[in-house]
Amino acid sequence: TAMSEDSGFYLPRQLRVLHVSLEPLFFRGTLLDNLRLGLKEGCANADIERAVAVCTRLHCSEDLIHFLYSESTEHWSSVLSQTQKHLCVLARALINDPEVICIHKPTRAFGLATSRKAMECLQEFVTNRGLDRDVSATQQRRPRTCLFTASKPSDTEFADMVVHVNKTKGIAQISREDVTLDMLG
């Protein structure tokens, strides 16, 4: 267990926390292998149907979905747009289904429609304790949390709590209505 002496904050050993990097990172391998990174072989989350379902929910392109079925280890990464690569990174996080996702500016590479869809998926991930999972079993799963920094004012409508961090003013909880473009810089 990790316990901070100062704050009394407790982090259970079995809690899985996944950090999503700002830049899409991939290794040499198939797209499916890249999306299943970190999952054990045979894990229910690792099947191709789950990967396709999550990518479909995120409105990934047909080309991207096609590459999930491909054994190609090179071609897919050179064909996907930057937006599609960012969607892949988000899909990887959702497929891994950790208890906590920490993500910096999850919508920065997206237009408004894709941003909204991505944020809806993250909100559903928290609400249903996983994305594209059996809703009837929600209460049997551990709670989910998504910590994110906003890049667009519209991102904050999906937050349960908005916290502003400022070098001179410190940390303060604020209302969504008080968020300004300067704060998101």
- Please give, one letter per residue, the 3-state secondary structure of 22-56: CCCCCCCCCHHHHHCCCCCCCCHHHCHHHHHHHHH
Q: What's the mean per-residue pLDDT of the chain?
A: 88
pLDDT of residue 1: 42
CA 36 to chain centre: 14
- From CA 157, how far away is CA 83, in angstroms rounded? 22
Are 90 and 35 contacting, i.e. CB atoms less than 8 angstroms apart?
no
Of residues 174 and 44, the one with the higher pLDDT is 174
The whole-angstrom separation of Cα 124 and Cα 137 is 14
d(CA 39, CA 46): 6
Stronger pLDDT, 3 or 11, i.e. the higher one: 11
Tokens 């910590």 belong to residue:
147
Rounded distance, CA 41 to CA 91, Å?
18
Residue 101 confidence (pLDDT): 95
Q: CA 81 from chain center: how many Å?
A: 18
Question: What are the tokens at 65?
Answer: 């979905």
Q: DSSP class of residue 75?
A: H
Kindly state the average pLDDT of the residues 90-111.
Answer: 94
Confidence of residue 15 (pLDDT cuts 50, 70, 90): confident
Q: What is the pTM of this model?
A: 0.86
Torsion of CA 23, 85, 118, 35, to 10 degrees: -100
pLDDT tens-digit profile of 113-168?
999 999 999 999 999 999 988 888 888 888 999 999 998 999 999 999 999 998 89
Q: Is the dihedral of CA 100, 101, 105, 106 positive or negative?
A: negative
How far is 109 from 84, CA to CA, in rounded Å?
Answer: 9
For residues 83 and 59, the answer to whether their CB atoms sit within 8 Å is: no
Q: Is the pLDDT of residue 25 over 50?
A: yes
CA separation for the pair 91, 97 (Å, rounded): 10
